Amino acid sequence: MSSKDAEKNSVKIRLRLGSHDAHYAGGLVDGAKMLQLFGDLATELLIRLDGDEGLFRAYDSVEFLAPVVAGDYIEAEGWITNVGNSSRAMRFEARKTIALLQPGEPGYLAPSSAKVLEPPVVVCRASGTCVTPKGLQRGGKGSK
């Protein structure tokens, strides 16, 4: 697949993580939340390519690179990097685009104080393989 095709086969999710996403002390969000987002991206990519949700077979690599806390805004993006007979290799990246300021940080005035991160901070990267069985490939928008 060419890089131009890979660009056509990319999707994004943007969301704010709330207190319901916090799992640990200090409002820390567990890494499984990023993997959940990657799973949603994979599902959309498969629907666009094959017309079916397919199945996530395995992650080849997962890197948790920075903490994520309730109140952060996350942009997650996924790309199809290779299309096989029934397998689809994918890569994912989650970036923190807005962060709440913590007490003592410059600009902190209240618990609602926040800053736009330029550039965004990469918080997680992963790659994996998804499968759409041949009999379920209906040819979505991006299919051959």
At 7 the pLDDT is 53
For 59-70, give the secondary structure using H, E and C.
Answer: EEEEEECCCCEC
Provide the pLDDT confidence category of residue 5 given band limits of 50, 70 and 90: low
CB count, 10 Å around CB of 134?
A: 9
User: How long a stretch of residues is the chain?
Assistant: 144
Global pTM reads 0.88
- What residues contact residue 28 under an 8 Å CB cut-off, 6+ apart? 22, 67, 68, 69
Asked if 13 and 41 count as a contact pair (C-beta separation under 8 A), the reply is yes
Reply yes or no on whether the pLDDT at 121 is more than 70. Answer: yes
**CA pair distance 30, 65, nearest whole angstrom:** 12
CATH, domain 3-136, list 3.40.50.300, 3.10.129.10, 1.10.10.60, 3.30.870.10: 3.10.129.10
- Domains in the chain: boundaries: 3-136
Q: How many helices (H) and strands (E) does the chain have?
A: 2, 7
